[in-house]
A and B are shown apart, each in its own frame.
Chain A
Amino acid sequence: MPTSHEDIVARLRGIREEIDHRGLTEPAALKEAVAGLEDLIREMDGEKSDLNRLLGLCVKGIRAVNELRAADTLGSVDAIIESLDAAEHYLQDRPNKEVLVREAGQLLDSVLSKNSARAETDSEEIHPEEFVEMTLNDAAACLLQIDSDDFPEMERLCRMIDAVVAARECPAPCREISEQALHLAVQVVDKRKADPDFTIPEDAITDIGLALEEALSSLSENNTASTDTPAVEKPAPGAESTDYLPEDADLDLIGAFITESGDLITNAEEALLTLESDPEDIEAVSTVFRAFHNIKGTSAFFELALMTELAHHAESLLSRVRDGEIRYAGGYPDLALRSVDMLKELFRLLQDALNGSPFLKPQGYDELTGLLAAPEAAGISDVSEPAAPRPVSPPPSSAEAETSVAEPAAASPDALTRRPKLQTGKQVVESSIRVPIDRLDRFIDMVGELVVSHSMVAQDQLVAGGTHHELQKKVAHTTKIVRELQNMSMSMRMIPLKTTFRKMARLVRDLSRKVGKDVSFITEGEDTEIDRNMVDIINDPLVHMVRNALDHGIELPEVREKMGKPRYGTLHLSAFHSAGNVVVEVRDDGKGLDREAILAKARERGLIENGGGMSDREVYNLIFEPGFSTAEIVSDVSGRGVGMDVVRRNIEAIRGQVEIQATPGRGAVFKMSLPLTLAIIDGMVVGVGPEKYVIPTISIIRSVQPNPGDISTVLHKGEMLKLQGKLIPLFRIAELFDVREAQSELPKAITVVVENDGHQAGLVVDELIGSQQIVIKTLGESLGNITGISGSAIMPDGRVGLILDVGGLVRLANTD
């Protein structure tokens, strides 16, 4: 015995740690381990047969892992490490050493035999359906790389195809085609056996490749798997990703098709959600059916085969629902919604394709069409799945997508009592035409102009003088018409929040399933209108708030029950007008915000020092601080991309505000106040000499006429104003903008204190003229961006006023 036990133990440990550390990714490490073990075996030759056998097995296992032959790589490595451990124990004469070694040996043996089973017949797989596809893919890949004289590889290929043919799970059509491929491959091998100089002809490879490809596609048609694995790209020869956009496509027409279909898809999605709460709603089925049918027809016209196929399958599914063949329940709703999602994805890709990128088949397309073609084969039925993550609850999915008026009293919802409500208003057929946005803007401009010139007429001495009563009456009448016209023109840019709310309904549905919470989603005031440009801007913050409410606010059903609340949580999304603003509110009845947790977090992040005397409101506002963004707030769910600070920034960018109210244990309310439109701001008109400027009211803190004593100069250039103990820099608009005849004596002039990015500044102007609503216009391309001016506005007298950009002014003053 040349080597002492301790030495062997140390070496074994070294090898084990090596494997443990460097893992599977380092073939070099594994090879080293093999070499080390082999040395050991040689040294201990014949000494302890059990141990030697075990180590031999380890070597075999490591080799298998190394060559990536192992069926269960992780399991193999575990078994190997276990065995090495056991060997160590044995050598250290620990109790039960024989048993340990034997057990480890058996474990490793079984893992390894699994490996060899795979290597030989490839038929013992954990996922039989995937196995066939995988092997076919492997075979195709192998074929691609084959050299014309590489016969061992060719034989390997034969074995692979053979395995597919032998596999029980292989569907009949696929097997037939695979047999053909096998036949071709065997022929080649036989020829080689007969003639050693024979090389594999190119066309034989192509033929086998084509057969394999066919087998794969027959498989995807028959794919009975209901897993979410994306369709594997076929690596067979000639199967490069195809551009599905026809070469002679009329791009303009397709563009119109995309726009049109966008509406159809939105309607379809909404109808599907309605349908889920009321599977008997034939009207909704027809809506979806029509949408798919339309898309199918038009896409066929454009030769967009991908959409035609998908729409066709989805349409057939819906027609079965319509004919009462199947009920819209169980797995079908998911399937239908997935088709809608896929259609959306296709249209997105098509849009990209119009800009030049290739129109490729999206991931999971084949799988989904396969499912749609034969949903029953994949085990989808209209029986509700009992083991879904959402536990059975009082409102079984019926209250989920509820989009009716709020009815918190109906806490025991019953699909039947709700149905009449859902059907109201669906007969209203909306008829509309599309108007280019620039024409609309022009129209609104003209109306604004009409208002101005009309008021000039109305205030004219002749009219207002009081002698022409008939004329006065007529002018008063036109005033009414003009005002009506103005209101109408403003409302033309407004669209209801309905579409946005529908998106949220879908979000809540999907998300509540995912997190396993029961949520009844109620929307109110979805007819509230908002400027078209703002809809896109508020979408992201809203998604974030809804997600937060679901994620952090509403508790799991079990927890809720324990707290004496109903199992299902309620999420209210409402919109209403308030004080000239539109308010969008997300209200949940979850656990509310945890004041202490927020404070602790803020202290940890260094946002506050103590926070003892802070009001609830101040505390809640802390979650809008950037430091909070990436971390968990109250619960442990985190990493959801945008933080609340982004929400606030987005809202404030459109001159809105966010506010939080919360009652611990009772729920929280996130309230967004938004201006009605982006085109109008509240502005303070100020005069500087002969010029008039507008300062956005939102950035004005106050205006003062300071005492001379409060003003101090810095280096005789900069001026500072002492205001309530704070020193703020003063900027003279007249100097910055080179306006003559302006008031230069400070006490007589007025200082408007403004705030931007948390910094205050004083703007010195001659007079405050008044506050009014201002329609914002750009200065146009030719005048570009002028520092200190954010835009222009038409003043009531018809002249143009310039809107001051407070941030820019401060920058301007600093550069001079």
Chain B
Amino acid sequence: MEKSVKSFDQTSKDVQDKEGKYLTFTLSDEEYGIGILKIKEIIGMMPITSVPQTPKYVKGVINLRGKVIPVLDLRLRFGLEAIDYTDRTCIIVVEIEGETGDIMIGLVVDTVSEVLNIRKDEIEPPPRFGTKLDTDYIMGIAKAEGGVKILLEIDKVLKSEEILLLEKTA
């Protein structure tokens, strides 16, 4: 009994932590959200220099005002079909914790929508689909007006096994 109360407390605390502002964007008609604190800036599409011997979803590197940062295509990262980039295609630059301090990474998304304030009672824990779908990097699902938003745990998206593997083979 006590245990279940504790675990309930834990979840409610987690949910509370998740409350806040989210930048939402679309990928193939699905709405996603990333915590606003992780985001450095949003830039339009720019020429990307492709880097050999990297996975498909690594589009290459760009010059962000003198800094060279890698760019990932989130569509390809999530196994969605690639589309041609348009005027509305954006690169969201996020900052995640690396081994030697914070690192910046660009994410290519279809369109950027808006910044949403999401309350804790709107957030539900990620659904479980069993082995069919890996939901590790989903922080939760928000039931906001105008549809469901998938809230991403961006550090996990970018530091999942594949990237670690990439670092090793490289």
With A737-B52, A789-B52 in contact, is A799–B170 under 8 Å at CB?
A: no
Query: How long is the Cα–Cα vector from A781 to B62 in the complex, in angstroms?
Result: 15
**Closest chain B residue to A690, Cβ basis:** B50
| Distance between B126 CB and nearest chain A CB, rounded to angstroms | 25
Are B52 and A738 within 8 A (Cβ)? Answer: yes
Are B68 and A780 closer than 8 Å at their CB atoms?
yes
Interface string of B92-120 (1 = CB under 8 A from A): 00000011100101000000000000000
Q: How far is the CB of B97 from chain A (nearest CB, A)?
A: 10
B49 & A801 in contact (Cβ 8 Å cutoff) = yes
Type the 1/0 row for B56-88, where 1 means its CB is closer than 8 Å to any CB of A: 001011110111111000000000000000000
Q: A777: CB under 8 A from chain B?
A: yes
Verify if A92 is at the interface (C-beta below 8 Å from B).
Answer: no
A-B contact pairs, 28 of them (CB 8 A): A442-B66, A445-B66, A446-B65, A446-B66, A448-B66, A691-B49, A736-B52, A739-B52, A777-B67, A777-B68, A779-B51, A779-B70, A780-B70, A782-B103, A782-B163, A783-B58, A784-B167, A784-B170, A786-B54, A786-B170, A792-B68, A799-B47, A799-B63, A800-B49, A800-B60, A800-B63, A800-B68, A802-B61
Given contacts A736-B52, A786-B53, contact A779 B65 (CB under 8 A): no
* Alpha-carbon distance between A736 and B47 when the two chains are bound, in angstroms: 22
User: In the docked arrangement, what's the CA distance between A192 and B60, Å?
Assistant: 89
Residues in A with CB closer than 8 Å to B158 are 782
A800→B62 contact, CB < 8 A = yes
User: A446: which B residues are within 8 A, CB to CB?
Assistant: 65-66
A326 to chain B: closest CB distance in Å?
Answer: 53
**Alpha-carbon separation in the docked complex, A779 to B50 (Å):** 12
Tell whether A771 is near chain B: CB-to-CB under 8 Å: no
From A738, which residue of chain B is reached at the shortest CB distance? B52
A348 to chain B, nearest CB (A): 26
Q: How many residues of B contact A (CB 8 A)?
A: 28
Interface string of A731-774 (1 = CB under 8 A from B): 00000111100000000000000000000000000000000000
A794 on interface, CB distance cutoff 8 Å: yes
Q: Note all chain A residues with C-beta closer than 8 A to B37.
A: none
Distance between Cα atoms of A72 and B85 in the complex (Å): 92
- The answer to whether B61 and A800 touch across the interface, beta carbons within 8 angstroms, is yes
A788: interface (CB < 8 Å): yes
Residues of B within 8 A of A (CB): 47, 49-54, 58, 60-63, 65-70, 98-100, 103, 105, 158, 163, 166-167, 170
Q: Are A780 and B103 in contact (CB under 8 A)?
A: yes
In the docked arrangement, what's the CA distance between A789 and B105, Å?
Answer: 19
Collect the chain A residues with CB atoms within 8 Å of residue B170's CB: 783-787
CA distance A644 to B99 in the complex (A): 38
Q: Within the complex, what minimum Cβ distance (angstroms) separates A529 from chain B?
A: 23
1/0 per position for A562-576, CB-CB distance to B under 8 A?
000000000000000
Q: Which residues of A contact B65 (CB under 8 A)?
A: 445-446, 449
Q: A428-453, CB under 8 A of B: which get 1 and which 0?
A: 00000000000000100110110000
Q: CA A163 – CA B133 in complex, angstroms?
A: 89
Of all chain A residues, which has the CB nearest B167? A784
List the A side residues contacting B58 at CB < 8 Å: 783
Complex alpha-carbon distance, A780 and B61, angstroms: 10
- A798 interface residue per 8 A CB criterion: yes
In the complex, what distance in Å separates the CA atom of A782 from the CA atom of B57?
13
A781: chain B residues at CB < 8 Å are 98-100, 103
A residues near B (Cβ < 8 Å) are: 442, 445-446, 448-449, 691-692, 736-739, 777-789, 792, 794, 798-802
In the bound complex, do residue B50 and residue A782 qualify as a contact, i.e. CB atoms below 8 Å apart?
no
- Flag if B51 contacts A798 (CB, 8 Å): no
A779-B61 contact, Cβ under 8 Å, with A445-B67, A449-B66, A785-B170:
yes
Q: How far is the CA of A448 from the CA of B105 in the complex (A)?
A: 21
CB pair A789 B66 closer than 8 Å = no
- CB pair B68–A794 under 8 Å, yes or no, is yes
Most chain B beta-carbon neighbours within 10 Å: one of A445, A448, A800: A800
Chain B's nearest CB lies how many Å from the CB of A719?
Answer: 20
Residues of A near B100 (CB, < 8 A) are 781
| Smallest CB separation, A479 vs chain B (Å) | 19
CB contacts (< 8 Å) of B52 on chain A: these are 736-739, 786, 788-789
* Residues of A close to B69: CB separation below 8 A: 780
Q: How far is the CA of A784 from the CA of B70 in the complex (A)?
A: 11
Q: How far is the CB of B96 from chain A (nearest CB, A)?
A: 9
Among all A-B residue pairs, the 9 with the closest Cβ atoms: A445-B66, A737-B52, A449-B66, A800-B49, A784-B170, A781-B98, A784-B167, A777-B68, A792-B68
Cβ of A779 to closest chain B Cβ, rounded Å: 6
Query: What's the nearest-Cβ distance from chain B to residue A350, in Å?
Result: 26
Max chain B Cβ within 10 angstroms of own Cβ: one of A446, A781, A794: A781
User: Please, how many angstroms separate the alpha-carbon atoms of A738 and B60 in the complex?
Assistant: 13
Q: B63 CB to closest chain A CB, in angstroms?
A: 5
Q: A783-B170, A784-B170 are in contact. Are A802 and B51 (CB under 8 A)?
A: yes
Contacts of A782 in B (CB 8 A): 70, 98, 103, 105, 158, 163, 167
Q: How far is the CA of A446 from the CA of B65 in the complex (A)?
A: 6
Q: Residue on A with the closest CB to B99? A: A781
Q: Which one of B60, B65, B166 has the greatest number of beta carbons of chain A within 10 Å? A: B65
Name the CB-closest residue of A to B58: A783
Which residues in B have their C-beta under 8 angstroms from that of A780? 61, 68-70, 103
Least distance between A61 CB and chain B CB atoms (Å):
68
Closest Cβ of chain B to A736, distance in Å, is 7
Which residues on A sit within 8 Å (CB–CB) of B103?
Answer: 780-782
Whether the Cβ atoms of B51 and A794 lie closer than 8 Å is: no
Shortest distance between the CB of B32 and any CB in chain A (Å): 20
A780-B103, A782-B158, A783-B58 known; A788 vs B53 contact (CB < 8 Å): yes
Residues of B within 8 A of A779 (CB): 51, 61, 68, 70
In angstroms, Cα B49 to Cα A783, docked, is 13
Q: Name 18 extra pairs, CB < 8 A, besides A777-B68, A779-B68, A802-B61.
A: A445-B65, A691-B49, A691-B50, A738-B52, A779-B51, A782-B105, A783-B51, A783-B58, A783-B70, A784-B170, A786-B51, A786-B54, A787-B53, A792-B49, A794-B66, A800-B62, A801-B49, A802-B51
